[in-house]
Structure 1
Amino acid sequence: MIPIRASLMRGGTSKGLFFLAEDLPQDSAARDAILLAAMGSPDERQIDGVGGAHPLTSKVAIVAPSTREDADIDYLFLQVAVDKAVVSDSQNCGNLLAGVGPFAIEQGLVVPSDNYTDVRIHMVNTGTLATARVQTPEGKVNYEGDAVIDGVPGSAAPVYIDFLDVAGSSCGHLFPTGSTVDCIDNTALTCIDNGMPVVILRARDFGLTGQESPQALENNNELKAKLESIRLKAGALMGLGDVSKKTVPKMTLVSAPVKGGAINTRTFIPHRVHEAIGVLGSVSVATACVVDGTLANAYFEQAKQLPDSTVCQLAVEHPSGAFSVEMDVRGRSAIASFCVNRAAILRTTRLLMRGEVMIPTNASQNSDI
């Protein structure tokens, strides 16, 4: 067995292993073999690894000193499939991002300040930037506090994250098709990428209320087949190429809010249904809400009263609660003039365990560790 230093952390509503880049092979194939063994994939239960048998608990963050002058650290996110021998770098993860700043501070990559520390993070997957504000009283990361986020029991210290330049980060454009509404398989949809490529569809167009449980949606094989057909075509339309083996775009069914929020969502990620909604997925949906003409905008009643340039806070409802997103935008009446000045969210994180994850020798025999 080969020991490799790692920390197990919850970030937002996700959980995963955090590594220093120097502790893993540079060769991606060798690295991926190690990560599959660490998580226990491919196996639906991930019984021979530390994965939690769900995409939200089978994630990896790899952190290193930044290669950019405008960032402190580099963060590479990898999604480890549960039942397949697949490791994907095709997307960011905004939930796991909440743990990246604290991890970097604890590993000595960032020097902490006395009260709080702003960590500038280069998200390697898309080449974009985010800043995480981490509480560091007396120069030590604080994980305990009163901040509460839906989908996570209890409370913890807040981690505020500003996304600085994520519009079109994967597709090249905020609205990659150049339109607020497209049609695929006789179904209207909005394609958007403000940090996460998302296809927004109306739940009612599939005979749904939008309030179905994640389990009920996962058990609906006819629905999943329709969504996958649309997803494959939308991926090409959005400039993502063949997405049959990619985890993007995410497919989000929207409906009228039921808890006083801006909009209600159910998100396929892309084949399992999220128990909540991803951080950057919620940012993309919130962005669509404030732009006139999108499918999401039609459900956001307050949009009618918003000025063309505005700072507003939206609650994006999901199966386990709601996600608050602060938007600072201008030119929202037309996509040609629309610009996102800032998108910010609140997350929490917790260090669960640190030490060494043990890798079978046969999984690491071709690596340079």
Structure 2
Amino acid sequence: MVQRDIPCILMRGGTSRGPYFKGTDLPAEREALAEVLIAAMGAGSPLQVDGIGGSRPTTSKVAMLSPSDDDWAEVDYFFAQVHAEKAEVDFSPSCGNILAGVGPAALEMGLVAPEGEETRVRIRNVNTSSRIEAVVQTPGGDVRYDGDARIDGVPGTAAPVILNFMDVVGSKTGALFPTGNPVDVIDGIEVTCIDVAMPMVIARAESFGLTGAESREELDENKAFFERMEPLRIKAGEKMGLGDVSQSVVPKFGLLAPPRAGGAIAARYFMPWNCHPSYAVTGSICTGSCLLAPGTVAAGLAVLPPEHPTPVKIEHPSGSIDVVFDYEIVDGRFTLNSAGLLRTARKLFAGAVSIPGDVWPGAAA
């Protein structure tokens, strides 16, 4: 069997990892694209031993980059979540951690030219139609990966990548509260169905008999929780206008509890069938918006600083994630202007991933 090689860069973006491809090196047709990504990542086997996936949702992600025809953006970022245990690909969500590697990867691929000591890469997220500015360190015209920035969930330090998110309200549904309500009651539990950068269903941990301080491992082993959560998430997805979400990772699910380590809130983020080992970038923007918007399930739980723009620290299983929100509340309505946060990224290798030749016969040998 002749194998086919597809150029890619394997990168850690934030607390996630995956290959970054040029869109022109992949099939344009969605079904063929899914088959190529399944083969490249080794999906369908829990260990992904026959591919370059890392056997967990956070390490089985793919970024596809192309020149943008958007009037503002330079690069289009298209994200895919590849299932580990099933031979499936979900193109509906996005990933803000993988987004942290988009600016560096675009520079490495020659899609964007470096500009001085730091380069501002303007990105359109194809999955959500949002706009993001990534500020990448480029001293001497080369992407810098070493530095003093530290994020919880990643060992060591690295160069900072600053992400500024815009146009993220109603990313999938077109509305801040897709059901029309800041609080809904589903299966007897109060939830907030909210769509900012990532559609989420958010509840209080105490509603499930949890403290909100549980570890990822404790939550992943809590079958009783998932047996209550998943039917609720599916019903919420229907109410949010997302249709049947039983096979989709969107909407994600979040739990809130009072902070314990000086943050604004303690939170747990589900992907949705496992607890995130830290916290998703898009999920942090959505969760922070839930804290700031009036009348949500976060009322009475969050401890928010008085500054504006407002820094929001979200405590998660590996530490915390910080997001700065520029927002307004007029006549009780929440408006988000932008959300910014610091991430890091690192190139792990550049080369080509090989797939069986019969998966995509049109690929170059």
TM-score range, shorter chain: over 0.9
Q: Please list the CA deviations of residues 190-232 of structure 1 after superposition, one character each: whole Å capped at 9, or x if unmatched.
A: 1111101111111111111111111111111121011101000
In 2, Cα distance between equivalents of 1:158 and 1:145: 7
Matched residues in 2 for 1:259 and 1:301: separation? 11
TM-score by length of 2: 0.97
Letter in 1 for 2:138: T
Matching residue of 2:245:
243
Query: Aligned-pair distance for 1:12?
Result: 0.3
Structure 2 residue 48 is the aligned partner of structure 1 residue 49: no
Q: Identify the match of residue 261 of structure 2 among 259, 262, 285.
A: 259
Q: 2:360, 2:25 → 1: CA distance?
A: 12
Structure 2 counterpart of 1:361: 357
| Contact 1:90–1:125 under 8 Å retained in 2 | yes
Between the aligned partners of 2:115 and 2:159, the Cα distance in structure 1 is: 16
Residue of structure 2 in register with 1:115 after alignment: 117
Give 1:105's aligned residue.
Answer: 107
The gaps in structure 1 that reach 5 residues or longer are none
Aligned to 1:351: 347
Offset at residue 333 of structure 1 (A):
6.6
Number of the residue aligned with 1:91: 93
* Alignment partner, residue 60 of structure 2: 58
How big is the shift at 1:368? Answer: 4.6
Q: CA RMSD in A?
A: 1.2
Label 1:194 to 1:320 Cα distance change in 2 as closer, same or farther (>3 A).
Answer: same
Contact 1:290 1:332 in 2 (8 A): no
Is residue 77–residue 89 contact of structure 1 (8 Å, CA) maintained in 2?
yes
Structure 2 residue aligned with 1:80:
82
Q: Distance in 2 between matches of 1:291 and 1:124?
A: 26
- Out of 42, 45, 66, the position equivalent to 1:40 is 42
Within a 5 Å distance, the mapping from 1:19-38 to structure 2 comes to: 19-38=21-40
Query: Which of residues 321, 324, 328 in structure 1 aligns to 2:322?
Result: 324
How far apart, in 2, do the equivalents of 1:264 and 1:12 lie? 20
Among candidates 298, 302, 312, match of residue 314 of structure 1: 312
The Cα shift of 1:137 comes to: 0.6
Q: For 2:109, give the aligned amino acid.
A: Q
Trace 1:128-277 onto structure 2 (pairs within 5 A).
Answer: 128-277=130-279
Contact 1:275/1:320 (<8 A) preserved: yes
Q: Specify the SS of the correspondent of 2:207.
A: helix
Letter in 1 for 2:343: R
Give the alignment of 1:270-285 within 5 angstroms: 270-285=272-287
User: CA contact under 8 A between 2:263 and 2:314: conserved in structure 1?
Assistant: yes
Q: Which amino acid aligns with 2:270?
A: F
Which AA in structure 1 matches 2:215? Answer: S
2:347 is matched by which residue type in structure 1? Answer: L
CA distance in 2, matches of 1:262, 1:356: 43
Aligned partner of residue 114 in structure 2, secondary structure: coil
- What is the identity, as a one-letter code, of the residue corresponding to 1:71? A
Q: Distance in 2 between matches of 1:156 and 1:77?
A: 24
- Is this contact kept in 1: 2:304–2:312, CA < 8 A? no
Q: How does 1:290-301 map to 2 (within 5 A)?
A: 290-301=292-303
Q: Hey, what's the Cα distance between the residues in 2 that align with 1:94 and 1:111?
A: 22
Distance between the aligned counterparts of 1:111 and 1:99, measured in 2? 16
Separation in 2, partners of 1:82, 1:286: 29
Counterpart contact for 1:181–1:189, Cα < 8 Å: yes
Per-residue Cα deviation, 1:25-67 (whole angstroms, up to 9, x for no partner): 1111111111111111100010111111001000000001002
Read off the aligned partner of 2:96 and give its amino acid letter: G
Distance 1:171 1:276 in 2: 26
SS at match of 1:259: coil
CA distance in 2: counterparts of 1:325 and 1:341, whole angstroms: 13
- CA-to-partner distance for each residue in 1:285-329, whole Å, 9 max, x for gaps? 0111112221123211337x57xxx41101011000101000011
Q: Deviations over 1:218-249 (max 9, x none)?
A: 11112101110100010011111111111111
Letter in 1 for 2:355: I
1:350 is matched by which residue type in structure 2? Answer: R
Q: Tell me if the contact between 1:134 and 1:141 (Cα under 8 Å) persists in the aligned partners.
A: yes
Helix, strand or coil at the partner of 1:29? helix
